[in-house]
Amino acid sequence: MTLHESLAQHIKQAFLTLYQTPLISVEFQSTRKDFEGDLTVVTFSMLRTVKMNPAQLGEDLGAYLCENSAEVIGYNVVKGFLNLVISDAYFMDFFQTLTSSSKFGFLEPSGDQAVMVEYSSPNTNKPLHLGHVRNVLLGYSVAEILKASGRKVYKTQIINDRGIHICKSMLAWQRYGNNETPESTGLKGDKLVGNYYVKFDQVYKQEISALEAKGLSLEDAKNQAPILLDAKEMLLKWEAGDGAVVALWDQMNQWVYAGFDVTYKAIGVDFDSYYYESQTYLLGKSFIVEGLQKGVFVKKEDGSVWCDLTADGLDEKIVLRADGTAVYMTQDIGTAIQRLEDFPDVVGMVYTVGNEQDYHFKVLFLILKKLGFEWAKNLSHLSYGMVDLPSGKMKSREGTVVDADDLIAEMGATAKQISQELGKLEGYSETDKEAIYSTIGLGALKYFVLKVDPKKRILFDPKASVDFQGNTGPFIQYTYARIQAILRKSAQDSHPEIPTSYSLHDKEKSLLKQLQLFPEVIQQAAANYSPALVANFSYDLVKEFNSFYQNVSILGADSAVEISFRVQVSKAVADTVKNAFSLLGIKVPERM
């Protein structure tokens, strides 16, 4: 039981004992630095339960806790805030728990129920870009946090490998590629295919201009451009199973998959299963028929099928076109159901998709509920804001996206430049240096992206992210490496056992207070699908450690017991940083 849970239990009992009234919840805050205390209870919110002076309420609760709680040894009241002084004995008990576990705060999966997290879900007509990077980092991190919180997790994605956009790359390669391949060009397959997506757009625009010069309107020119008509014809052939078109589609998709795999490995993310739109886009059609029989859907005069959600505050949504072809919603209905059939222990899913799809997922989840699937209440959309660059918005068709591979390389180069300017890695071999540059660069990228609440838009500045000061990945990595240096220096010394009566220095106590928050942070991050909570906890922890480091001597302390305690606390900080960063997919260097 955490300190918060124990005290909340005592406070609820105090309400029953003192006021014969049940209390639903208790709000805690960290005690402000200018007041005595380790933890603060907010009494203002309790006034809805008992009508009395908040200061008197604080006095009553403080006296009750001192009398009945082993953890509380003192208190003071400031208006509607009850500041509690927690005993050293409590923190020493916590210290024993902390140092006995290498994965403090992590829970083993409990029960047979699992959650599935979908992320990435790229198109096979271009490489992964900066927008995908935020997606995969968020999805992977949320999956790892859910696992640490005690959930069984499957990571998945659906690859968008069909449609007109895929045919555009295929047609352009067919016409202008001269049979070049990733092997003949030295390009990753996804980059090669992406180049032809850009080439298609260039030719398309030229044809539009030529048609406009002949007197067609812009709209007519867009619709009648020969290259677009040919791409549409290619799509029809693909859907009809034309051998040559399907063979080309398969070949170019394999190039892209191989390229994606390289990028995923470089970013450090993985998947447990893959779904392909080419295999799933027809899956939902049988459930549309079933929904028609149940009255969930209605068929209109033209033969199209719709779901009327106006009574639920939404609008009418088409689920099947008049010609019987599926729409994205049809596919997503079928894919969701198929996943539950493939993984029977899954009781919920998290879709990591940008906030431009917020409405789509509201509709999808509601339709699945109307179809009678109980698990639909456990579906969540991890909605996130877009990533902008100082140069403006990215556009795939025009080739102005920031390629994920190029970004990873740039981050390593930026880390190298800044490390050399600061002289951080003097005396290291070139091999070691390059490995550390990569760790710092990728860590900087991931931390910069993940420290921001997912719902917020990000303006990404590569150089600002690789800063060895402030709320950055490299600052936290550097603190971890600093602790490793302390541990190496202390390794040859004997470390006596710490007595339970050990009297804590204020800085030692502050560090333990921060460390004990970690299990709760994991649970909150899991409940809110927010890696930002873990990232910012890590920053607060290393800030607390650096204050400790600057204010007390570790290896030069007055007694062997003090040295032993401070070394062990330092190690606990390093272990917790490493574990927290593992939830963000970030590595920590042993030396920096």
Q: What is the pLDDT of residues 409-432, one digit of tens each?
A: 888 888 888 888 777 677 788 888
Cα–Cα distance list, 407 to 191, 326, 410, 411 (Å):
14, 37, 5, 6
- Residues 476/440, Cβ–Cβ less than 8 Å: no
CA distance 496 to 286: 70
**Termini Cα distance of the chain:** 37
The pLDDT score that the predictor gives to residue 348 is 95
Planar angle of CA 152, 157, 160, nearest 5 degrees:
165
CA distance 208 to 200: 12
Q: What does the block give as tokens for 382? A: 């991890």
Tell me the β-bridge partners of 287: none
Percent of the chain with pLDDT over 90: 79
Confirm whether pTM is higher than 0.85: yes
Amino acid present at 565: F
The pLDDT score that the predictor gives to residue 400 is 53
The pLDDT score that the predictor gives to residue 73 is 97
The pLDDT score that the predictor gives to residue 398 is 47
- Is the pLDDT score of 346 beyond 60? yes
CA distance 437 to 430: 10
CA-closest candidate to residue 191, choices 168, 158, 169, 175: 169
CA distance 474 to 581: 12
- Residues 197/158, Cβ–Cβ less than 8 Å: no
CATH ID of 441-583, from 3.30.1330.10, 1.10.260.40, 1.10.730.10, 3.30.70.270: 1.10.730.10
- Residues 122/271, Cβ–Cβ less than 8 Å: no
CA distance 513 to 91: 8
- Residues 166/198, Cβ–Cβ less than 8 Å: no
Identify the residue whose tokens are 């606390």. Answer: 569
CA distance 74 to 488: 39
Identify the residue whose tokens are 């699937």. Answer: 373
The pLDDT score that the predictor gives to residue 188 is 96
- Residues 156/545, Cβ–Cβ less than 8 Å: no
Mean pLDDT (whole number) for 99-119: 92
Looking at beta carbons, which pairs linking 105-110 to residues 24 or more positions away fall under 8 Å?
A: 105/148, 105/518, 105/519, 105/521, 105/522, 105/576, 105/579, 106/148, 106/522, 106/579, 107/148, 107/149, 107/150, 108/150, 109/147, 109/150, 109/151, 109/152, 110/150
The pLDDT score that the predictor gives to residue 396 is 43
Please tell me which residue, 62 or 469, carries the higher pLDDT value.
62
- 320: DSSP letter: E
In this structure, the strands spanning 387-388 and 379-384 are unpaired
- Is the pLDDT score of 393 beyond 60? no
Segments of 412-533 assigned E as strands: 458-459
Segments of 28-127 assigned E as strands: 28-29, 39-42, 72-78, 81-86, 114-118
| Contacting residues for 64 by C-beta, under 8 A, at least 6 apart | 10, 14, 17, 18
Mean pLDDT (whole number) for 123-132: 90
**Torsion from C-alpha of 323, 324, 325, 326, nearest 10 degrees:** 140
- Residues 190/255, Cβ–Cβ less than 8 Å: yes
CA distance 139 to 350: 9
Max CA pair span of the chain? 92
Tell me the β-bridge partners of 383: 353
User: Is the sign of the CA dihedral 405, 409, 410, 414 positive or negative?
Assistant: positive
- Gyration radius of the chain's alpha carbons: 29
The pLDDT score that the predictor gives to residue 391 is 62
- Is the pLDDT score of 569 beyond 90? yes
Collapse the DSSP code of 375 into the 3-class scheme (helix H, G, I; strand E, B; otherwise coil) and give the result.
Answer: helix
Tell me the β-bridge partners of 583: none
- Is the pLDDT score of 554 beyond 80? yes
> What is the phi-psi region of residue 470: left when phi exceeds 0, alpha when psi lies from -120 to 50, beta otherwise?
left
Tell me the β-bridge partners of 123: 160
Name the fold adopted by 3-86: Gyrase A; domain 2 (3.30.1360)
CA distance 15 to 26: 11
Going from N- to C-terminal start, the domains of the chain cover: 3-86, 163-266, 285-325, 441-583
Give the H or E element holding residue 265: helix 243-267
The pLDDT score that the predictor gives to residue 397 is 46
The reply to whether 3-86 and 441-583 are identical in fold is: no
- Is the pLDDT score of 98 beyond 80? yes
Q: What does the block give as tokens for 112? A: 């047979």
The pLDDT confidence band at residue 332, using thresholds 50, 70 and 90, is very high
Tell me: the pLDDT tens digits for 507-540?
Answer: 999 999 999 999 999 999 999 999 999 999 999 9
Tell me: the pLDDT tens digits for 274-290?
Answer: 999 988 888 888 899 99
Percent of the chain with pLDDT over 70: 98
- Residues 28/40, Cβ–Cβ less than 8 Å: yes
Amino acid present at 158: I
The pLDDT confidence band at residue 401, using thresholds 50, 70 and 90, is low
- Is the pLDDT score of 394 beyond 80? no
The pLDDT score that the predictor gives to residue 347 is 94
Q: What does the block give as tokens for 481? A: 């490496």
